[in-house]
Amino acid sequence: MKTVRTRSELNECLDKVDRSRLGFVPTMGALHAGHLSLVKRAKEECDTVVVSVFVNPTQFNDPKDLENYPRDERNDLIVLEKAGADIVFMPDVKEMYPEPDTRVFDFGQLDKVMEGATRPGHFNGVAQVVSKLFALVRPAKAFFGEKDFQQIAIVKAMCEGLDQSPQIVPCPIVREADGLAMSSRNALLTPEHRAAAPDIYRAMKAGVEKMGEMTPAEVEEFVTEKINSNPLLEVIYFKIVDALTMMQVENWKDSEAIQGCAAVRAGNVRLIDNIRFV
Ligand code: AMP
């Protein structure tokens, strides 16, 4: 495994690589089994796998969140080597943003709801960094976790505006044994909030069970109340949306793919999760 920190080192590594068999996994580090599942999938589908580890400042709307974001470069390199990554790209902020990125992306309604509505500027920052990384790596396939469900829709929409874009491969959510979706931010939970957090997935699963007797709006309310009944958790939103447009659905029959998406505050930590309804 080669670790590189600059664009020129990365270019040098990729010079001899067949890009039509190149896979790419962008991450912000503090890696866990969820990230590694993407690397594994990329290894299965590609000859060479590049993983980037970069905490992208432009996607943080809250400076405190950026400051507190967990970082563990040493362990990241150990687990990536074990997972079979070929090249790790670990740039610093100056390397990624030699000049401030002033690009403003237009995602129509896609970024006006859920994460986009509650974290202003977040998806613009995601699009900035992902488009830069795609231009540098030029992979055939890029692997993204469904944990960040809306992000996949944003990245796909962004690719429509690019000349050359990779195939976006969505990968299933990896969970802890108690159901909590794995996240780098879980490390920031207090033991009490960590014990409470699996209630998010429990409530969403209970919501799926109610589909037969409730409308989507009623299930939204049911799941929200169930999560909020734990005093350590506070729902920021729980929305049942069309899986392509991210627009709320009124009836279960309105769409071929329907997802329930949640953001929940657990103490100082903001957690997201989602579940398939239809
Ligand atoms: P992050 O480092 O949080 O930006 O995540 C990097 C990539 O890993 C994104 O595509 C995430 O969706 C994905 N990812 C994060 N957590 C999980 C998980 N629990 N299961 C599957 N993929 C995940």
Q: How far is the CA of 172 from the centre of ligand 1 (A)?
A: 10
Is 228 within the bounds of a domain? yes
Same domain flag for 103 and 18: yes
Would you say residue 146 lies in a domain? yes
Identify which of 24, 25, 27, 88 to mutate to test ligand 1's pocket (most ligand atoms within 8 A of the CB): 27
Q: Which of 141, 171, 201 corresponds to the end of one domain?
A: 171
Q: Do 80 and 25 sit in the same domain of this protein?
A: yes
Same domain, 117 and 209: no
- Which atom number of ligand 1 is nearest to the Cα of residue 175? 19
Query: Ligand 1: which residues within 6 Å by Cβ?
Result: 27-28, 34-35, 37-38, 144-145, 147-148, 171, 173-174, 181-184
65 and 154 both lie in a single domain: yes
Q: Which of 108, 143, 171 is the last residue of a domain?
A: 171
In terms of domains, do 161 and 193 share one? no
Q: Is residue 176 part of a domain?
A: no
Q: What is the pLDDT of residue 175?
A: 99
Question: Which pLDDT belongs to residue 244?
Answer: 98
Q: Is the dihedral of CA 11, 6, 31, 55 positive or negative?
A: negative
Closest Cα to atom 19 of ligand 1:
182
Exposure of 253 by Cβ count < 10 A (0-12 exposed, 13-18 middle, 19+ buried)?
exposed
Domain housing 254: 189-270
Q: Could you tell me if residue 182 is inside a domain?
A: no
pLDDT tens for 93-105 read: 999 999 999 999 9
Question: Please, what is the average pLDDT of the chain?
Answer: 98
pLDDT, one tens digit per residue, over 88-147 is 999 999 999 999 999 999 999 999 999 999 999 999 999 999 999 999 999 999 999 999
Q: From ligand 1's centre to the CA of 40, what distance in Å?
A: 13
Same domain, 139 and 65: yes
216 and 137 within one domain: no
Residue whose CA is at the smallest distance from ligand 1 atom 5: 27
Which ligand 1 atom is at minimum distance from the Cα of 30?
2
Segment 147-185, tens digit of pLDDT: 999 999 999 999 998 888 999 999 999 999 999 999 999
Asked if 146 and 37 count as a contact pair (C-beta separation under 8 A), the reply is no
For residues 200 and 83, membership in a common domain is answered with no
Give CA–CA dist 47/249, Å, rounded: 41
Q: What pTM, to 2 d.p., does this model score?
A: 0.98
User: Which of these three, 137, 171, 205, is where a domain ends?
Assistant: 171
Instruction: With CA atoms as reference, report the closest residue to 200 among 149, 235, 174.
Output: 235
Using CA atoms of 74, 75, 77, 80 in order, give the dihedral in degrees to the nearest 10: -170
Are 12 and 42 within one domain?
Answer: yes
- Catalytic residue IDs: 35
Could you give the CA distance from residue 99 to residue 96 in angstroms, rounded to a whole number?
9
